[in-house]
């Protein structure tokens, strides 16, 4: 009973969070192409510089300029003057615009198709833009538990466990390492010196 109550509460919190996110982003409804007209360099808080692009695009014959609410990049070549990027702007208020693809959301068990952002699901169904799954779950690392949203594509845990058992058995039996697993020297000192000299060439001394 407690688990069901917790599940309902989590779903309600998820819906509330999605509603807030949707209200924050729903003005991004009209697509357009904007051109970077300049890139401003500003000192970064932790040293170095950030590079802030200024975008320009046309709406009903009116030129709109701004930075699309885009945080500055630490990479000098992240934005190039003359480059075009996809944006979305608010109908009737094009000064409010954002770069498309700026936001990504992961949903657990809930899917909202109305969001104008990429939606990645964990147990939310195949209608999402993408899927998220832990490699450990997909490869079957854990034997005793598999989450509902996961599918085991193999049982790598069984293979790894058996491999370690075989290794332990070989070591105890003295069959590993075998002669083919050992480096061989005749005992000749000159031969060893030559080998050491070749080895030292690979070191950054």
Element (H, E) at 6: helix 2-25
Q: For residue 8, what pLDDT band results from cuts at 50, 70 and 90?
A: very low
Which of 4-13, 37-46, 82-91, 97-106 is predicted with the least confidence, judged by mean pLDDT?
Answer: 4-13
Q: For residue 70, what pLDDT band results from cuts at 50, 70 and 90?
A: low
Q: How many CB atoms lie within 10 A of CB 18?
A: 18
The position carrying tokens 């949203």 is: 149
Tokens of 167: 């290794």
User: Is 50 in a helix, a strand, or coil?
Assistant: strand
- Note the pLDDT of residue 124: 77
> What are the boundaries of each domain within the chain?
28-99, 105-132
User: Is 100 in a helix, a strand, or coil?
Assistant: coil
Q: What is the DSSP letter of 73?
A: B
Condensed to tens digits (0 to 9), the pLDDT of residues 35-65 reads: 999 888 888 776 777 888 888 989 888 888 8
């Amino acid at each position: 009973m407690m688990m069901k109550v917790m599940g309902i509460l989590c779903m309600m919190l998820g819906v509330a969070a999605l509603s807030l996110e949707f209200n924050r982003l729903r003005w991004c409804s009209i697509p357009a192409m904007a051109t970077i007209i300049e890139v401003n360099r500003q000192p970064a808080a932790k040293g170095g510089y950030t590079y802030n692009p200024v975008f320009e695009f046309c709406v009903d014959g009116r030129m709109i300029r701004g930075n699309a609410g885009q945080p500055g990049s630490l990479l000098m070549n992240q934005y190039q003057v003359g480059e075009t990027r996809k944006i979305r702007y608010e109908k009737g208020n094009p000064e409010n615009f954002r770069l498309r693809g700026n936001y990504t959301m992961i949903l657990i068990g809930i899917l909202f198709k109305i969001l104008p952002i990429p939606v990645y699901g964990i147990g939310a169904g195949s209608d999402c833009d993408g899927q998220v799954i832990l490699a450990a779950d997909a490869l079957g690392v854990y034997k005793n538990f598999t989450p509902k949203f996961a599918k085991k594509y193999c049982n790598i845990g069984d293979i790894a466990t058996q491999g370690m058992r075989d290794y332990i058995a070989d070591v105890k039996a003295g069959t590993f390492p075998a002669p083919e697993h050992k480096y061989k020297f005749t005992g000749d000192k000159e031969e060893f010196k030559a080998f050491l000299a070749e080895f030292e060439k690979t070191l950054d001394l």
